[in-house]
Amino acid sequence: MTWGLLLYAGFVVVVVILPWEGGGFPPLYNFINLVVFNCLAFLAAASHARAMLTDPGAVPKGNATREMMQKMGFEEGEVVFKCPKCCSIKPERAHHCSICQRCIKKMDHHCPWVNNCVGEKNQKYFVLFTFYIAVISVHALFLCVNHFIYCVNEEWRGAVCSKYSPPASVIFMLFLLIEGLLFAIFTAIMFGSQISAIWNDETGIEALKKEYGSWTRQAKWKSVQAVFGEKFGLSWFSPFSSVQEVFRKSRYYSV
Torsion of CA 202, 206, 207, 210, to 10 degrees: -130
CA dist 27 → 30, 38, 184 (Å) = 5, 16, 27
Cα–Cα distance list, 88 to 110, 126, 127 (Å): 19, 26, 28
Q: Which of 32, 36, 216 is nearest to 136 (CA)?
A: 36
Active site residues: 111
Look at residue 97 and give its three-state secondary structure.
Answer: strand
Give the span between the Cα atoms of 134 and 191, in whole angstroms: 8
Whether 196 contacts 52, CB under 8 Å: no
Q: If you compute the radius of gyration of the chain from its CA atoms, what whole number of angstroms results?
A: 23
Measured CA to CA, the distance from residue 110 to residue 170 in angstroms comes to 37
Ramachandran class of 201: left when φ > 0, alpha when ψ lies in -120 to 50, beta otherwise? left
